[in-house]
Structure 1
Amino acid sequence: MNDLLSKVLELQPSWSASNTDAMKERGNVIRHQLPELLRAHSTPLAGSLGVSLDNLGVEGRDGTGLKSEIPWVRVFGREQSPSSTTGWYVVYLFSASGQRVYLSLNQGTTIWTGGVFKARRVQDLRARVEWARPMLTEIMGVRSDLSDTIQLDARTPLGRGYEPGNVVAITYERNQIPPQDTLLADLRYMTQLLRTLYESERMAPYIPGDPIPEVMEAEHSAARTAGRRTRGATRPHQSGQGFLLTASERKAIELHSVRMATEHFQAHGWTVKDVGDRESFDLLLTCGERKMRAEVKGTTSVGTEVILTRAEVEKQRTYYPDNALVVVHSIQLDRTGTEPRTSGGVLHCTSPWKVEDDDLTVISYAYRTQVDTQPTEVAAVEQPLLPPSVPHQRHEEEEAQAAGG
């Protein structure tokens, strides 16, 4: 195993986007030899990761077509990380200079919105890292050779993109790669860290840096309604990447936030009536002759975005200034029982609430077509359909597609 790692590092300074002899040799090690060696140790790796053998994944990538500057081989749970763009995994990352290889606990650097992949922002990756590290403090305390940062010496944005995703890493310098027994022991240790993250993630309703669940669900729903092919859910509350909420969880969060908003307004002297099941707002507030209409939104996220329907926007604009928006954010969601339980939350009230266009983001459109609603025969195409020209793909675009980043 140490010979294979050394061989890749030896070839790294010869990197070329073209499939040269050196890149063919590198690709054989990355895609075949090293993964096959690791699969020979599947049983202990699956045990340390806490997954079945069927759920243990091992794969290597060096670019399809154009060759990647930073090749990698990763070990992961297939359910928790169905692709390299998704979730957490342990990965060997080879520096562009060939000076070192990292065994990194890392993460996908893009997010699937239901229609397209979007690159995660660096600050979002770092927020996820800051969420993960406290979960690992006890296990990481037994070692003193762990690094919070990695330096891949990359020239391409994709190559540099792996660096902010690193949670913790073990560094192997080119001339100091330990024997195979030590390398495999290190890999089992890192998969134990990964197991802890998988267990913590399973119970977390929201991880800082992730898309807000309600927004992500709206994007998925809009994509499905528009007939977009969407990626199937790997778990009831996860769809490809990023956690979604079940119907019972959404209901529990809604009731919790409405209850907190009701108590808030009652404490300020309002008489409160819940009308959310029949009106385009949630709470009707009265105090003497004065009336207010309040919209209530609850979320497990930090509350920087909420979903509004078209009717909610239009109605609240007519109610202004006798209206309010209540956001109850950071709600704790307990998934351990048969039914979800909620607690906590921070209430933020905006009143009067003026809905500004600049604060709204369009998720989907209703488009009025020119289709004849009463056709008498198959309509002829007025102009021949010409094949579109295929634009030249830049190296980094193909590299990103090949590496899944």
Structure 2
Amino acid sequence: MKDLLSKVLDLQPLWTSKNDKNMQDRGVIVRRGLPDILRDHAPALADALGTSLGNLGIEGRDGTGLKTEIPWFRVFGREESPSATTGWYVVYLFSASGRHVYLSLNQGTTIWTGGDFKARRPEDLRARAGWALPLLADKMASRSDLLTTIHLDATTSLGRGYGPGNVVAIEYDRDHLPDQESLLADLLFMTGLLGALYSHERLSPHIPGDPAPEVLEAEQSAAAIAGRRTPASARKRRSGQGFLLTAAERKAIELHSVRMATEHFKAQGWSVKDVGTKESFDLLLSRGEERCRAEVKGTTSAGTDVILTRAEVEKQRGYYPHNALVVVHSIKLDRTGPEPATSGGVLHCTSPWAIEEQDLTVISYAYRTQVGIKPSDEATGRHRLQGNVPLQRK
């Protein structure tokens, strides 16, 4: 393994996007030679990951067609990370200069929204890495050689994209590569961290840097209703998307946020009536002759986005300025018991609440087709787009 790593590092300064002899040699090592060595240790890797042999994935890539500046090979859970662009994995990354190779706990740079794979912003990747790091602190305490920053000397945007996604890494210098036994021991350690991260991910209702679960669910539901086909890699995904909420979890979050909003308004001297099952808003507030209609949204995310129906938007615009939006964000959701349990949360109230067009993002459309339209109507162009399920950005 040491010899093959050395050969790839020797070829890195000769990188070209063309598939010349040097890049062909590099590709054979990255795609076949190094992964084959890891496959010889598949049972130990699967055990470290806490998964079955069938779910253990090992693969290497150096670019399809054009050769990439930073080749890699990785260990991953097939269910958790069916593509290198999604989910968490352990990956070897070769610096463009050929000076270093990193063994990195890293992540994919896209998320499936239901209609397409959306690129994650560098700041979102860093936020996700920041979420993961303290969860693994106990397991990393015995190591003093772990790095949270990697330097791949990349000149391409693709090559530079690996840096923000790094959680923790081990750096190997070209002139001081360890022997195979040490390399495999490091790999098993890092694979153990990956397995622990998968476990934390399954229990997390929201990971910083991810879209709010409610927003992601709305996008995916809209895409499903519109008949959008889902790629195989997205169909396989169970985690890494923050796990969509169950009906019981959504209800628990809703009741928790309404309770907090009720307490908030009562402390201000309002009489509060819960009308959420009958009206297009949640709370009717009364204080002397004053009336206010409040919409309440609860979320496990940071609360930067909430979902509104078209009816909610239209009604609240009519109620202005005697209206309010209450967002209870950062609610803690405990999934470990037989029933979901909620706690905490930060309440933010906007009143009066003016809904501006620039704060709304349309997730889907209802489109009036020409099916069944009379020829005379067709000549006048009687078909149009109608916005549906807008997204409120605060």
C-alpha separation between the residues in 1 aligned to 2:81 and 2:249? 23
Partner in structure 2 of residue 208 of structure 1: 208
C-alpha separation between the residues in 1 aligned to 2:125 and 2:246? 25
The one-letter amino acid of 2:182's match is T
C-alpha separation between the residues in 2 aligned to 1:20 and 1:47? 39
Q: Secondary structure in 2 aligned to 1:362?
A: strand
Partner in structure 1 of residue 172 of structure 2: 172
Partner in structure 2 of residue 51 of structure 1: 51
Residues 1:245 and 2:248 are matched in the alignment: no
Q: Secondary structure in 2 aligned to 1:329?
A: strand
Question: Do the aligned partners of residues 111 and 234 (structure 1) sit closer, same or farther apart at CA in structure 2, a change above 3 Å counting?
Answer: closer
Residue range with higher mean Cα deviation, 76-85 or 323-332: 76-85
Q: With structure 1 as the length reference, what TM-score do the two structures score?
A: 0.89
Q: Secondary structure in 2 aligned to 1:366?
A: strand
Q: What is the deviation of 1:179? A: 0.9
C-alpha separation between the residues in 2 aligned to 1:203 and 1:279? 34
Residue range with higher mean Cα deviation, 31-40 or 156-165: 31-40
Partner in structure 1 of residue 34 of structure 2: 34
The one-letter amino acid of 1:193's match is L
Q: What is the deviation of 1:262? A: 1.4
C-alpha separation between the residues in 2 aligned to 1:87 and 1:298? 26
Partner in structure 1 of residue 340 of structure 2: 340
Q: What is the deviation of 1:256? A: 0.9
Residue range with higher mean Cα deviation, 158-167 or 143-152: 143-152
C-alpha separation between the residues in 2 aligned to 1:293 and 1:264? 14
Partner in structure 1 of residue 187 of structure 2: 187
Q: What is the deviation of 1:374? A: 7.1
The one-letter amino acid of 1:85's match is T
Partner in structure 1 of residue 98 of structure 2: 98
Cα deviation 1:148-189 (Å, max 9, x = unaligned): 111111111000000111111111111211111110000001
C-alpha separation between the residues in 1 aligned to 2:236 and 2:211? 16
Q: Secondary structure in 2 aligned to 1:331?
A: strand
C-alpha separation between the residues in 1 aligned to 2:326 and 2:245? 20
Q: Secondary structure in 1 aligned to 2:306?
A: coil
Q: What is the deviation of 1:233? A: 5.8
Residue range with higher mean Cα deviation, 319-328 or 81-90: 81-90
C-alpha separation between the residues in 2 aligned to 1:211 and 1:366? 24
C-alpha separation between the residues in 2 aligned to 1:280 and 1:100? 59
C-alpha separation between the residues in 2 aligned to 1:141 and 1:53? 28
C-alpha separation between the residues in 2 aligned to 1:368 and 1:200? 45
C-alpha separation between the residues in 2 aligned to 1:332 and 1:233? 27
C-alpha separation between the residues in 2 aligned to 1:183 and 1:147? 16
The percent identity for this pair of structures is 72
Partner in structure 2 of residue 66 of structure 1: 66
Q: What is the deviation of 1:371? A: 3.1
Partner in structure 1 of residue 127 of structure 2: 127
Residues 1:287 and 2:287 are matched in the alignment: yes
Structure 1: unaligned runs, 5 residues or longer: 376-405
Residues 1:2 and 2:2 are matched in the alignment: yes
C-alpha separation between the residues in 1 aligned to 2:66 and 2:371? 43
Q: What is the deviation of 1:361? A: 1.4
C-alpha separation between the residues in 1 aligned to 2:273 and 2:236? 38
Partner in structure 1 of residue 384 of structure 2: none
Partner in structure 1 of residue 379 of structure 2: none
Q: What is the deviation of 1:267? A: 2.1
C-alpha separation between the residues in 2 aligned to 1:265 and 1:110? 40
Residues 1:306 and 2:306 are matched in the alignment: yes
Assess if the C-alpha contact under 8 Å between 2:254 and 2:298 holds in 1.
yes
Assess if the C-alpha contact under 8 Å between 2:81 and 2:237 holds in 1.
no
Higher strand proportion: 2
C-alpha separation between the residues in 2 aligned to 1:94 and 1:41? 22
C-alpha separation between the residues in 1 aligned to 2:347 and 2:145? 43
Q: What is the deviation of 1:288? A: 2.3
Q: Secondary structure in 2 aligned to 1:232?
A: helix
Question: Do the aligned partners of residues 181 and 29 (structure 1) sit closer, same or farther apart at CA in structure 2, a change above 3 Å counting?
Answer: same
Q: Secondary structure in 2 aligned to 1:306?
A: strand
Structure 2: unaligned runs, 5 residues or longer: 376-394
Q: Secondary structure in 1 aligned to 2:305?
A: coil
C-alpha separation between the residues in 2 aligned to 1:368 and 1:88? 42
Point out 4+ residue stretches in structure 1 off by more than 4 angstroms.
none
C-alpha separation between the residues in 1 aligned to 2:365 and 2:155? 39
Residue range with higher mean Cα deviation, 319-328 or 4-13: 4-13
Q: Secondary structure in 1 aligned to 2:172?
A: strand
C-alpha separation between the residues in 1 aligned to 2:339 and 2:8? 50
Partner in structure 2 of residue 228 of structure 1: 228
Residue range with higher mean Cα deviation, 199-208 or 305-314: 199-208
Q: What is the deviation of 1:331? A: 0.5
C-alpha separation between the residues in 2 aligned to 1:85 and 1:274? 44
The one-letter amino acid of 1:34's match is L
Assess if the C-alpha contact under 8 Å between 2:210 and 2:241 holds in 1.
no
Q: What is the deviation of 1:373? A: 4.4
Q: How much is the aligned-residue C-alpha RMSD, in angstroms?
A: 1.6
Q: Secondary structure in 2 aligned to 1:164?
A: helix
C-alpha separation between the residues in 1 aligned to 2:142 and 2:242? 31
Cα deviation 1:70-101 (Å, max 9, x = unaligned): 11101011222221111211100011111111
Q: What is the deviation of 1:217? A: 1.0
C-alpha separation between the residues in 1 aligned to 2:285 and 2:82? 48
Q: Secondary structure in 1 aligned to 2:362?
A: coil
C-alpha separation between the residues in 1 aligned to 2:57 and 2:141? 27
Question: Do the aligned partners of residues 35 and 112 (structure 1) sit closer, same or farther apart at CA in structure 2, a change above 3 Å counting?
Answer: same
Partner in structure 2 of residue 386 of structure 1: none
The one-letter amino acid of 1:306's match is V
Q: What is the deviation of 1:372? A: 3.7
